[in-house]
């Protein structure tokens, strides 16, 4: 900005007398013009050049308004602010390529009333909008405050001349002070426009004072940072010179160098660490570099940290496995109830691993001819426990470690998106660290721990890489004997580590990664199993956690069954343990208050008092008491679920189908197939007249939960037939199965989990595909005693069971 100059009152009045009815408007980019202020403008747009040339030939008056969006190349009436400044052109200088440099002075605020022209340049009807002044004590106080802040700010800005501060102090015109400071100090375009648009001078002073106070605080903090940095640099230089003098004194006195002693200690530790040849060579090479560096060098500590990591790794340290499968069987039985199939598969895995290790030399000799002399790498597959939450996947891994007598370490992979968390960061980065695999091995202090990788199905991927791809090398027995972390940059043998992965589902695990695992499924527990788990494991653990004695609280069988049925509905036992813990806390509070004289029996009534109203109840009877509702079964990564299919018919376009409940594409197709089957067999089903009444609406409740898959086919058909025949579905029946256009019932997956969910919900009869008969052997015997499994091949069989007389188990 150029210095302002004073214009005589008569000159100002003469100019205002020449103010035309319509005024040419010049949009300003990233600039706000103020009254009284002289400023140069660079004009390059052809439209603006024509405007300036026209105004220069006329009365030299022009309206200056700021653009709302500076990125617009040629702004229109709706892209500029409506309050601007009336200015007069003092001088125009022509530049290169048709550009102009225009010196203008602001005269007064104007407000645009109406736009009258857009081409060749903007013109508008305007009115003068002088500032409203009061000449009050408040205005004087605000002026002095702004003046004081501006003087302090002027001393902190190097570009300001020394006379600027004294000039600001002497300036008594509040209006001129506002516009002068707003145009010359660091005020953003939006704040500057707000200052221009405020009508009252006191409001302008108030807002400008806040803006300048913020800028003053930023400048003061910046100055403190610069002074602190200068002091630190001076201190570092002083320490450097002192150290140089100390080294010279030591050399004169013949004293041993501390750095030499430290290097010798590192050399001894490297020899004792049992590193591989590659790692030892790298460590010694880095040690030579360390000896030549002063401790003040930044890389000195980088190398030192790297050597510490290499030395601390368990290159040769390992625990000896406990011999005998019998011991492993005892440990698994002690830690986990039931799960016989899972335990058997784990014992098979451990037996094979033990034999391979015991007969490794013999096997290598026998296979050397087939492999043309190449050694056998790896010791078998990687175990993966797949099942709903709370079924004991992590604790099974701990039991395997206890059975083998190995140390246990774990790492959660849920939400991991950075490949460097597996492989580590290269040492070129500041603050680089090894990956979490190497860190966990270091914490275990042995090279053969049981390493659990939790939530392997929840690994993410992003621009930092794909962690699941990095895990391919870790979990491949043919490759992990030479795992190379980016930070260590030497091979480390992971082949003796027993990796165990856990996941809720295999659908989200990448196929190459899943191919390297041997999956063991844990489908969940029955009520009988949960009861025994609670009595044997959960209750004693919660008594210990809550500081209670067995003589103070007891959980009889009826109380535990009440908790299992009315307060939990899960495949695992995590929620069950929480409810037992909640009951224990209630008793602990009574014991602490001295209100307990005898043992507290948590029976059915007491459980209701401690835990409140039941969270779950048998909904099938209530839901299916009206025609058009059928009970189905679904599979989710957290276990089986019971779902309900509702249907309704209403006036509208015939054969129109409405689907709601956040259904996936496959399930929507199943609904269309179900309706097509009913339409094609309408006469046979006795619903011919009902279908012509209007449109049909199918809804699956819990609308916020996505649902997909073909297994609800027969449920959809049953709900439609129930609606059209006005016959309710038997309340104690649930069903699952895919349906075809011909009415055949096709097999489905996840049968065991679905049947267990039905059992938890009080269902007494389940209709399932005949082709799933082979899968029914997996269903626990105690559930098969309580539920009748009806095998069906055709929809007619389904309708006969579901819409017939009330069923019995």
Which residue in the block uniquely carries the two structure tokens 């103070």? 552
Count of other CB atoms within 10 angstroms of residue 444: 20
* Residue 754 designated active-site: yes
Q: Catalytic: which of 174, 183, 399, 711? A: 711
The angle formed by the CA atoms of residues 471, 477 and 483, to the nearest 5 degrees, is 55
Q: Tell which phi-psi region holds residue 639, choosing left (phi > 0), alpha (psi between -120 and 50) or beta.
A: left
Query: In this structure, what token pair is assigned to residue 514?
Result: 């899943």
Cα(791)–Cα(797) distance, integer angstroms:
9
Helices within 568-664 (DSSP H only): 574-593, 604-611, 620-623
Count of other CB atoms within 10 angstroms of residue 769: 25
Cα(440)–Cα(444) distance, integer angstroms:
6
Cα(80)–Cα(357) distance, integer angstroms:
81
Q: Which residues of 3-17 are buried (b: 16+ CB within 10 A; e: fewer)?
A: ebeeeeeeeeeebee
Give Cα 400 distance to the centre of its chain: 32
Query: In this structure, what token pair is assigned to residue 383?
Result: 């175990």
- CA-nearest of 750, 748, 733 to 666 is 748
Q: Which residues of 587-607 are buried (b: 16+ CB within 10 A; e: fewer)?
A: bbeebeeeebeeebebbeebb
Helix axes 174-184, 137-156, angle to 10 degrees: 30
- CA-nearest of 753, 359, 510 to 766 is 753
Cα(474)–Cα(441) distance, integer angstroms:
13
What is the β-pairing status of strands 553-554 and 600-601? parallel
Cα(117)–Cα(114) distance, integer angstroms:
9
Maximum C-alpha span of the chain: 115
Q: Catalytic: which of 754, 761, 764, 765? A: 754
Find out whether the peptide bond into 120 is cis, omega within 30 degrees of 0.
yes
Which 3 state secondary structure label does DSSP give 126? strand
* Residue 711 designated active-site: yes
Catalytic residue positions, numbered: 711, 754
């Amino acid at each position: 900005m150029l210095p302002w100059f004073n214009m005589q009152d008569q000159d100002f009045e003469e100019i205002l007398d020449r103010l035309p009815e319509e005024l040419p408007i010049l949009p300003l980019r990233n600039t706000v013009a103020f009254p009284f202020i002289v400023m140069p403008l660079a004009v390059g747009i052809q439209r603006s050049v024509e405007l300036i040339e026209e105004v220069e030939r006329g009365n030299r008056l022009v309206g200056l308004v700021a653009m709302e969006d500076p990125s617009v190349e040629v702004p229109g009436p709706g892209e500029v602010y409506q309050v601007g400044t009336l200015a007069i052109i003092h001088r125009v200088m022509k530049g290169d390529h048709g550009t102009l440099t225009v010196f203008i002075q602001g005269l007064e605020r104007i407000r645009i009333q109406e736009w009258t022209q857009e081409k060749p340049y903007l013109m508008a009807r305007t009115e003068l909008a002088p500032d409203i002044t009061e000449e009050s004590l408040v205005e004087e106080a605000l002026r002095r405050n702004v003046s004081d802040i501006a003087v302090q700010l002027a001393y902190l800005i190097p570009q300001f001349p020394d006379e600027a501060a004294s000039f600001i102090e002497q300036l008594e015109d509040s209006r001129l002070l506002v516009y002068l400071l707003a145009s010359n100090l660091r005020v953003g375009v939006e704040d500057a426009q707000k200052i221009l648009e405020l009508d009252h001078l006191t409001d302008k002073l108030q807002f400008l004072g806040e803006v300048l106070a913020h800028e003053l605080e930023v400048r003061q903090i910046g100055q403190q940072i610069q002074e602190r940095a200068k002091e630190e640099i001076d201190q570092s230089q002083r320490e450097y010179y002192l150290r140089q003098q100390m080294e010279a004194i030591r050399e004169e006195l013949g004293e041993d160098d501390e750095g030499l002693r430290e290097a010798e200690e590192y050399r001894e530790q490297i020899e004792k660490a049992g590193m591989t040849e590659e790692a030892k060579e790298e460590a010694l090479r880095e040690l030579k570099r360390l000896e030549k560096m002063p401790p003040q060098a930044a890389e000195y500590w980088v190398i030192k940290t790297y050597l510490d990591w290499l030395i601390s790794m368990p290159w040769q340290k390992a625990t000896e496995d406990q011999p005998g499968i019998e011991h492993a069987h005892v440990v698994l039985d002690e830690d986990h109830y039931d799960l016989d199939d899972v335990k058997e598969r784990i014992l098979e895995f451990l037996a094979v691993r033990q034999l391979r290790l015991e007969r490794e030399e013999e096997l290598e000799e026998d296979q050397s001819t087939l492999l043309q002399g190449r050694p056998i790498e790896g010791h078998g597959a990687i175990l993966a426990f797949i099942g709903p939450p709370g079924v004991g996947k992590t604790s099974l891994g701990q039991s395997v470690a206890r059975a083998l007598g190995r140390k246990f370490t774990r790492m959660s992979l849920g939400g991991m998106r950075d490949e460097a968390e597996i492989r580590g960061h290269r040492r070129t980065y500041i603050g680089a660290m090894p990956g979490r695999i190497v860190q966990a091995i270091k914490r275990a202090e042995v090279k053969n721990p049981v390493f659990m990788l939790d939530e392997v199905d929840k690994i993410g991927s992003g621009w930092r890489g794909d962690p699941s791809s990095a895990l391919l090398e870790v979990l491949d027995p043919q490759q992990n004997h030479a795992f190379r972390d980016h930070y260590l940059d030497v091979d480390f043998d992971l082949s003796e580590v027993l990796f165990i992965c856990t996941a809720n589902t295999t659908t989200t695990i990448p196929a190459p990664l899943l191919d390297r695992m041997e999956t063991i499924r844990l489908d969940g527990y029955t009520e009988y199993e949960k009861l025994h788990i609670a009595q044997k494991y959960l209750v004693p653990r919660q008594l210990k956690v809550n500081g209670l004695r067995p003589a103070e609280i007891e959980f009889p069988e009826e109380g535990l069954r009440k908790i299992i049925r009315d307060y939990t509905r899960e495949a695992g036992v995590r929620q069950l343990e929480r409810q037992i813990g909640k009951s224990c806390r209630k008793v602990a509070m009574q014991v602490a208050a001295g209100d307990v004289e005898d043992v507290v029996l948590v029976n059915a009534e007491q459980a209701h008092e401690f835990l409140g109203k039941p969270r779950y109840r048998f909904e099938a009877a209530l839901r299916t008491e009206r025609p058009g509702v059928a009970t189905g079964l679904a599979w989710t990564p957290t276990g089986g679920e019971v779902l309900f299919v509702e249907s309704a018919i209403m006036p509208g376009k015939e054969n129109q189908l409405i689907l709601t409940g956040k259904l996936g594409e496959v399930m929507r197709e199943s609904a269309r197939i179900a309706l097509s089957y009913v339409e094609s067999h309408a006469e046979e089903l006795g619903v011919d007249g009902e279908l012509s009444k209007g449109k049909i609406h199918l809804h699956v409740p819990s609308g916020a939960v996505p649902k997909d898959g073909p297994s609800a086919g027969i449920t959809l058909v049953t709900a439609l037939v129930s609606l059209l025949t006005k016959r309710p579905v038997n309340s104690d029946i649930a069903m699952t199965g895919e349906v075809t256009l011909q009415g055949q019932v096709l097999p489905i997956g996840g049968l065991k989990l679905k049947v267990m969910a039905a059992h938890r919900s009080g269902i007494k009869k389940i209709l399932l595909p005949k082709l799933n008969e082979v899968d029914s052997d997996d269903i626990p015997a105690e559930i098969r005693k309580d539920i009748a499994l009806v095998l069906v091949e055709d929809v007619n069989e389904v309708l006969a069971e579901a819409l017939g007389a009330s069923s019995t188990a």
